[in-house]
A and B are shown apart, each in its own frame.
Chain A
Amino acid sequence: MIKITNLEKFYRTEEVETIALNKLSMHVDTGEFVAIMGPSGCGKSTLLNILGMLDDPDEGSYVFNSIEVAHFNERKRADLRKHNIGFVFQSFNLIDELTVFENVELPLIYTGVTTAERVKRVEEVLDKMQIMHRRNHYPQQLSGGQQQRVAIARAVVNKPKLILADEPTGNLDSSNGNDVMELLTDLNEQGTTIIMVTHSEHDARYSHRIIRLLDGQTVMENIMV
């Protein structure tokens, strides 16, 4: 599903050039659950942004579903992204002015799903995440665990092939964190590919494979059995 080759990304200021990704190559197969780990500043988030087509690489190739996307413009990336990728963030990133229902509905609006179909699919996914009873609440009225479940609901409502999770349990206590990891595992078992950035060895053990980065390069891979 994903194949990146010799990927490079630099951050420049007037004086200094920082290398975030240094000729990084990796691949992820359909249906895999991959964890990316490494110390702060190793390039994890940069990699995730490029994989999610929120950012473009300076050099190298990124093939997504047999399409070379490394030099796509913003419009093309947005188009590809909205049909294929769901995001889960450490800080949930829900829109405060929208209710639970409306937050989850958002990706469906942008992909042009009809109203009736939207209601059906949002209710379905809220039910699955066990937050149906909170559908008319605003994010501030929910606990952290509930907020993250809404965020996951939003990430999966469009039935994406790939979910990118950026430290999904970072703002949660261990009990809520485990719930979230169980949810992701379930999704993976139903066929969704998951790439997750994490600091937690505990969380990483839910995945099939751990890719460890240092200074923008892969230093080790652990295959879980």
Chain B
Amino acid sequence: MFKNYLKIAFRNLQMQKLYSLINITGLAVGLAVCMMIMLYITHEMTYDRFHTNAKRIYKLQANVKIGGNTMNMNYMSYASGPLVKQSQPAVDGYMRTLDYHKPIIVSNPLTPETKYIEEKVVFADSDFFTFFTFKLISGNAANVLSKPFSVVISKDIAKKYFGDTDPVGKTIRLKTDSAYTYQVTGVAENAPSNTSVDYNFVASASSILATKEAKEYNGEQRIASGSFNLFLLLKDAADTTKTRKGLQQIADKEKSDFEMHYKLSSIGSLHLANNWGDSSNLKYLKIFPLVAVLILLLALVNYMSLTTARATLRAKEVGIRKVSGASRKTIAAQFYVESGLFTVLSFILGYLLCYAFKPWFLNILQLKIDNSFLYSPLVLFLLLGLLLLTALISGIYPSVVLSSFKPVITLKGKTSKQTGGAIVRKVFTTLQFGIAVGLIICGVIIDRQLYYLRHADTGLNRENVVMIPVGSSMGKNYQAFNKDVQAMAGVSNVGTSHYAMYGGYDMYFIDGKTKDESIALPSLSVDDKFIQTLGLEWKFAPEPNKLLTGKNTIVINETAISDLHLPANPIGSFIKAGNERMEVAGVVKNFNYSSMESVIGPLGLFIASDTTSDWSQAGCNLFARIKPHTNVPSLIESIQNIYKKYDQDTPFSYTFMDDAFNKQYKAEDRLASIFSTFTYITIILAILGLFGLAAFTIEQRNKEIGIRKILGASMATITTILSTDFLKLILLSVIIASPVAWYAMHNWLQNFAYRISIPVWVFVFAGTMALVIAVLTISYHAVKAALANPVNSLRSE
């Protein structure tokens, strides 16, 4: 019997090619979106869960309260590891890792001229490969990192520096503060994409403590904050509270001018909890499951709507089968088998689509997901679940509707009274268009807000400014480099700042009115040309001949006047930070020095002369304003040539300030791209659904159309009559969707300190678009019906 069902399902599929294509493609698109999102979410949720001891590994972190400000402490001192283990009986082991944040230049001593800047260099305790579950391809996990200056490299790095030869036993040069030769003791599999302990190089921690930088990284000889990630292996996962309390007691005993509150975060929770660099991932995790369910629902609704709409054609078959002895149950089973077949085909196509569009999707999200993850048992299990769920849901409605047909009626060719579910389909269509309209509205508003962010006046002129990072390797040559760039014909101004614009700031704590008050003041270290180069304007200009570069002078912005409780014109006032007194020498007008998601906070500018040697020691950024009508690529090339003259170690790189500004909205940009894709998919699904519904409804009205034509109705009249009913549904969907979309976007805009107000035309636009799309979709069927010969439609009754 099953074979017979499959046979007729296949023949139906072949005979109704267009319908089958629409139906399968629609469902496949929905499934593909669902799979991709499922993949992404599973990947995010399984971070660091692959470690054998994942349930017992915790990271020690702390909240530190200084004055009124709370800060997160992610890192502990080197000595903290053994001290914690000694003091806390529940701690079985510890692992310290140092993520080296400065650029590291790496080369193979055999080919010293080929150098690369490398990231993801981790300095770790010797049992790194036994503490964590990372696979070693060669080398002994127990002792690969036991000696100073030994390093384990990833498979990709091995290939990059040593080609196909075995790197174990060979040497590699890593330049941190200066160049050191490391012995390669092992090769590890590349770190999986779902780990927060990411590495290309794992070097022994003893190495970095044998360099000149040791003091900087060693930190205090007690349990205190420092530079190392400290992972603790507890004897039992239930011991977290005990351990945290024990550590807290130690901290509370020590006298300190700040409060420290320890917390232990399980390694599996780190990725989602510590997303301060790019909080977009969390946004996606909230939005995407909703989108996945919504799109799959739309696709399923479509499938059901189209399948039951075609019921008229199948009614006779149902009748004959019932007359031939089929019960309602066997008919229901038959349509379930058909739905199952369609679902399986859609699923296969969906999987292929998902596979084909995955790189594109991941690129937008700026994500990497290992291919091996695609075939992991968990993902396969979830996919199977998705398939079963889809098959189950897609089959329910059609089999209920179709199996209820009464043979007495269908065999006489009268199906109009019992094709059932007309209202259900109307609800479906309204829902689909409602969602499409809602997404269009949201998409347009997101787009307008992003445009606004990019083009708003932020108080500084960021066009035509190129920022060039300069490392300590340039050393004393920086002054000469600065002068040479300034002398170029295409350059109008040159300034220097410790940080790149929008790349960070230092935080000073200024004494407030009372003893306990301490005010956080973000500050930038800049040179005396900075203000001019960026086109900042003075609110209160410094007195003529006043030396701004003095050690105890500071320039502040407007916001800082009130935040620091200074008089309306604060020139000549003093502020105190610890033991230092600083004179306010000038006030610049407010400008956005970070993302426009937040209001402009207070800011201090510490100004040094461009000749100060500090610039070369700590590294800095050179800002060059390019004159209009300059050939930018050739100018950059000239700057690069000058740069190479002064620094052969650190490769040249540059960023335009407006790019850096725009990059702050990367998360929003990605959200917008993803959003528009989802909107298109929803619109396509809505069109398919309406197409099916229109075909069905108009077919049912064939007799009416025939009679109207015989009585003299024109084609235009008939098309209008047929379209009106649908357009009412679309209008209803616009009315329902608009307030929902307004509410959602109103909330989203609250994330931005600077935002647009939602314009009314957006709703009109989305509504009009929905109507136009609907009219075009319906008109195909309406015109066809209006053109048909009424004799045929009347005879068929």
Contacts and interface: CB of A to CB of B under 8 A. Distances in A.
B323 interface: yes
B328 A75 contact: yes
Interface stretch (B8-16, B110-118, B279-287): B8-16
A91 B329 CA distance: 26
Interface in A80-105: 81-83, 87, 89, 91, 93-98, 102
Contacts of A107: 324-325
A225 to B, nearest CB: 34
Contacts, number: 67
B317 A97 contact: yes
Residue from the set B320, B328, B413 with the largest chain A CB neighbour count within 10 Å = B320
B327 A79 contact: yes
B408 A110 contact: no
Interface residues of A, number: 28
A58 B739 CA distance: 53
A109 interface: yes
A74 B411 CA distance: 17
Given A97-B8, A97-B11, A97-B317, A106 B411 contact: no
Contacts of B322: 54, 78
B316 A54 contact: no
B235 to A, nearest CB: 64
B663 to A, nearest CB: 59
A31 B319 CA distance: 28
Interface in B83-118: none
Contacts of A106: 4, 320-321, 324
A49 B320 contact: no
Interface in A36-95: 49, 52, 54-55, 74-75, 78-79, 81-83, 87, 89, 91, 93-95
B711 interface: no
Nearest to A89: B411
Contact of A110 (B8, B12, B15, B326): B326
Contacts of B316: 93, 95
Contacts of A82: 324-326
B323 A110 contact: no
Interface in B320-344: 320-330
A154 interface: yes
Contacts of B245: none
Interface string B759-774: 0000000000000000
A54 B407 contact: yes
A102 B6 CA distance: 13
Contacts of B11: 97-98
B320 A97 contact: no
A94 B320 CA distance: 7
A107 B1 CA distance: 11
A14 B416 CA distance: 18
A140 B652 CA distance: 77
A55 B319 CA distance: 13
A74 B1 CA distance: 21
Interface string B23-50: 0000000000000000000000000000
Contacts of A55: 408
A190 B117 CA distance: 96
A111 interface: yes
B483 interface: no
Interface string A97-126: 110001000110111000000000000000
Interface of A: 49, 52, 54-55, 74-75, 78-79, 81-83, 87, 89, 91, 93-98, 102, 106-107, 109-111, 154, 158
23 contacts: A49-B408, A52-B323, A54-B406, A74-B327, A74-B328, A78-B328, A83-B325, A91-B413, A93-B320, A93-B323, A94-B320, A95-B316, A97-B15, A97-B317, A98-B7, A98-B8, A102-B7, A106-B321, A107-B325, A110-B1, A110-B325, A111-B325, A158-B325
Which A-B residue pairs are the 3 nearest by beta carbons? Answer: A82-B325, A110-B325, A107-B324
